[in-house]
A and B are shown apart, each in its own frame.
Chain A
Amino acid sequence: MKTAHINSKPARVRATLAGLALVSTAWLVQAEPSGQQASQLAVYQGKAGFVVTSFAYSLGPDAEDTGACADGMSKNLAEIYALKPAGRQQQGESDAAYTERVSKAVAVLATLPNGDNVCLHPESAPVDPYFRTLTRTDVPVAGIDLDGVGADSGQYPVDDFTSADGTRGIDNQFYRVVGCSRSFQSNGPSNIFGTEMLTGAWGILVTLEGIDDLRNDDEVQVGIYANADPIQLSTRREPLAYGTYAMDQDPRFRAQTRGYIRDGVLYTEPVDVRFHSIVNSLRLERPLRRARLQVTLNDEAGLEGFLAGYTPVDAMYDMQYGYRSGRGGDGELGPLRRRLGTANGAAFVLGHTCNGAWQALHRLADGDCDESGGECQSISTQYRLQAIPAFVVDAATASSNAALEKSERVDGY
């Protein structure tokens, strides 16, 4: 179907969308007409909209359950220091004295000979022999076959995964990087970054346009945007359907692509997308090259499935480990103290080293590779997402706090 808007359908086609109701610029569409109350799509100016309510990396089972990390988990600098005899607590040494000694040692290990901090310049740091990655291929991971290579070609790449339901060829090198990091296990704190989304720090919107048939449609237009508005929650902190959200006004955070629907599953063509990410009040970007959506329209007129693509290695390092490019509310590079504090603090708490993570990301990167077989610049990344109906509008509306915005730059370095 080539029409641009739902409301431009010819009468015959419109009839196939039973229950569709034209309400001026806003439409409410029954997703599953039946004897029961049908959930309704939220349609504004011909586009069905959705706000993402759950967003996390698609990872495999915990290493403890699969035994996939036979060499143990990655370590932070304090743990690495403690591996050496001199790094152990000496007889008669008080806890306080030992803690102080470890802190000093960690500070030394985190500093390059030229005085730079390792997290800020991981490319200059020595190899971390204690950073563990997941090497096995028999661990089930759900996701999308991004490169289309190997699933049934007889050239099955050794590093692709197979999902629990038998889907083959799933590209998810990021999982290999973090699979043996304790913070990325199911009870760890690194894969619940979506919590920031529920606080209103950032968000994601999706629009569908030109739908003839919610079950099967050869062509639909798909928009993927950063959300410029905080997500609306109930008093129980649950996202509310049918809220109105504006897409980000920065074109870098807007993407349009085409797709098709087969048996209720939407598949999209690759498109570069970019979202916001905020850590410790540092504003970062979450780009994804050649991103594909593979989502099912569920009974609640929402979406659930995968968004997968290739994350530039430097961007992945920045938003998960180094925070080098974090910016303040004024759009300027954030205070160095906060960026370094966040990176080194995260490494200590989450159980890794900055250089180890940086090296693993580069080693396992599988996208945007040098044609000569050299280094790759991006790494396959799979996200799970859920979304609920929402009206997506394109409007530049000011924040109620706009007048209160001020620079928070306090650069102690």
Chain B
Amino acid sequence: MVTELQIPPLLTRVVLAASLLSTAILVGCDSKSQVAAEPEPVGGPTVMRRLTESQYRATIADIFGADIPVVARFERGLRAEGLLAIGTGESGMSPFSIEQYDAAARSVATAAVSPGKRAVLLPCQPQDDQIFDAGCAERIVSDYGLRLFRRPLSSAEQDQFVATVQQASEQLHDFYAGVKHALVGMLMSPDFLLRIERSTAGESDTDGELQKLDAWSKASRLSYFLTNSTPDVELLRAAAAGELDSEDGLQRQVERLIRSPRFEAAVRAFFEDMLQYERFADLAKDPSIYPAFNSQVAADAREQTLRTVVDHLIARQGDYRDLFTTRKTFLTRSLGIVYRLPVVTRNGWEETQYPPDSHRVGIQSNIDFLALHSHPGRSSPTLRGEALREIFLCQEVPDPPANVNFAVVQDPSNQSMPTARDRLTAHRTEPSCAGCHKIMDPVGLTLENYDGLGSYRTHENGALIDSSGSLDGPDFNDVDGLAQALHDHPETPRCVVEKMYRFAVGRDTVWDERAYMDYLIHRFVDVGYRIPELMQTIALSKNFFAINPDSGHGVTNKHASAATEKEVRL
């Protein structure tokens, strides 16, 4: 459990030094940079990634229809290297998960072969419902095999699932029951539940020892990256036709997917992951302290920031950094109570602006961030400071030592130390605490004008709150200053670029990819810090599909930024 964090003094210097180094790198490219060509691809391992809940549900909806029920509770995702997307390649499957996948598969298959759906969803009907129809079974298995496995079935797989249809049909005297059992089998198969990537040998000398993803794996990687769902019929067609192996063919598909309405789901999925929204499942607030908090407020708070992100980044093609300074937002009446702002619209969302003197600017002043990174009964400058650095700047803060006494900071009723700043100042007198708190607190204390839910306040325990702070250089006195500092921080664009790439490939970056990362960052600067262009750059890059069979499988701790830190330490 993270409460108030500490960091050894040496590592503190390392983190800060690394930050300064990164700053120097980006300062040089912040103006319109010369767009360098993509460096020679480095490649990483193939990965085997479990579908996330949102991907599972979207996949089922895309294949069977949005009204097909998925009756199951999904296991919590594993966050690794800062992203659930990376954890999908590391987590195992518990017996509970298998049970739930089974339940989901049965609910989907039952609905798909139901009398009301079979004529629409199945490509053929048997002559007699009670008799096995080999031709129809082969077609159903072939069609759904391609959609569910995201590749054509092998002949052995085809035969296996057709045999399943036949055996169940004959035993149950019901062709559709046979189809249902085959569908359940496919839906329970690792080839459906996991995105298993396969590589082929490189085709050119310049690839050296590198390999490429095969066309079907490319289609899957593209589709889940750009739509957070399974490849659609057109993408599968392009894969089958070999079009994804040509630059033109790939570009056509990437542009098509980015232009499609489904692209929003991908942007949402990335920011849900980046902003650690799985924590909403555990979010609780003391109702006696924060009476305005309820499940609707929590749901709306999450949606508020996602709407802002989608509107700014997709609809308006905005600069990513402006997310930290924008006053445009979306509110519901439930949220209006917490923000103490009027919301005329009775039901649903209202597009609005934070008033200039409302002490709100940027998504970091939204209550989703403020409430998620607080305690149930009080705010936490340390948690907020840690979250700001880790989420938006990719700066890692070590866990606290096990023997820290948190008594002072956990007692907000201490009249001699009425504000969090007072309590943290006392806490930092312990040398082992001071290092990390110097990193987290100055930025977190600026958010102390928001209570543990995120409502604005001027006092704590009767004492005026001092919200002055700093972030790697700039000093400020309020959230407007913090917003500008986040906007201008050189790590802000670098962090989102790095996270986006890691999200796309489902693994941590490796040291040899640092030139590629620099390429992505330069491109990001050149396109005005626009996220859709960044995603397009990644999707069209050779490195995105390059596979280095020597890089091993899974996650390595030697990622680009970590290696930079090690270099500094040495």
Contacts and interface: CB of A to CB of B under 8 A. Distances in A.
Contact of A391 (B291, B342, B357): B342
B346 A36 contact: no
A393 B341 CA distance: 12
17 contacts: A23-B357, A24-B355, A25-B355, A28-B340, A36-B459, A234-B291, A234-B294, A235-B287, A236-B291, A240-B337, A242-B341, A243-B333, A244-B333, A244-B344, A393-B342, A399-B346, A400-B347
A243 B336 contact: yes
Nearest to A38: B458
A238 B340 CA distance: 17
Contacts of B343: 244, 391
Interface string B453-486: 0000111001010000000000000000000000
A241 B344 contact: no
B345 interface: yes
Nearest to B342: A391
B16 to A, nearest CB: 35
B340 A40 contact: yes
A398 B346 contact: yes
Interface residues of B, number: 28
A232 B459 CA distance: 26
A279 interface: no
Interface in B327-349: 333-334, 336-337, 340-347
A36 B462 contact: yes
Given A26-B341, A42-B340, A235 B347 contact: no
Interface string A19-52: 0011111101000000111101010100000000
A391 B336 contact: yes
Max chain B Cβ within 10 angstroms of own Cβ: one of A23, A229, A238: A23
B459 A240 contact: no
A400 B347 CA distance: 6
Interface string A226-267: 000100101110101111101000000000000000000000
B358 to A, nearest CB: 5
Contacts of A40: 340
A26 B355 contact: yes
Interface of B: 287-288, 291-294, 333-334, 336-337, 340-347, 353, 355-358, 457-459, 462, 464
A246 B346 contact: yes
Interface of A: 21-26, 28, 35-38, 40, 42, 44, 229, 232, 234-236, 238, 240-244, 246, 391, 393, 395, 397-400
B336 A24 contact: no
Contact of A21 (B292, B357, B459, B464): B357
Nearest to A36: B462
Nearest to B288: A236
Given A24-B353, A240-B337, A397-B345, A35 B462 contact: yes
A242 B291 contact: no
B337 A23 contact: no
A176 to B, nearest CB: 39
A364 B346 CA distance: 43
Contacts of B334: 232
Given A25-B342, A399-B346, A244 B336 contact: yes
Contact of B336 (A242, A395, A397): A242
A232 B457 CA distance: 21
B353 A242 contact: no
A399 B346 CA distance: 7
Which 10 A-B residue pairs are closest in the complex by CB-CB distance?
A: A23-B355, A391-B342, A397-B346, A234-B291, A37-B459, A24-B355, A400-B347, A242-B340, A44-B342, A244-B343
A24 B353 CA distance: 9
B291 A397 contact: no
A22 B357 contact: yes
Nearest to A28: B340
A23 B336 CA distance: 14
A391 B333 CA distance: 10
Max chain A Cβ within 10 angstroms of own Cβ: one of B346, B353, B457, B458: B346
B347 A397 contact: yes
Contacts of B291: 234-236, 238, 240
Contacts of A229: 346
Contacts of A242: 336-337, 340-341
A23 B356 contact: yes
A37 B458 contact: yes
A338 B435 CA distance: 73
Given A35-B464, A240-B291, A243-B333, 11 more contacts: A25-B355, A26-B358, A37-B462, A42-B340, A42-B342, A232-B334, A240-B337, A242-B336, A244-B343, A397-B344, A399-B346
Nearest to B292: A240
B566 to A, nearest CB: 47
Nearest to A23: B355
B341 A232 contact: no
Contacts of B355: 22-26
A234 B287 contact: yes
Contacts of B353: 24
Nearest to A49: B342
Nearest to A233: B291
Contacts of A36: 459, 462
A241 B343 CA distance: 13
Given A21-B357, A235-B294, A243 B337 contact: yes
Contacts of A21: 357
A89 B29 CA distance: 100
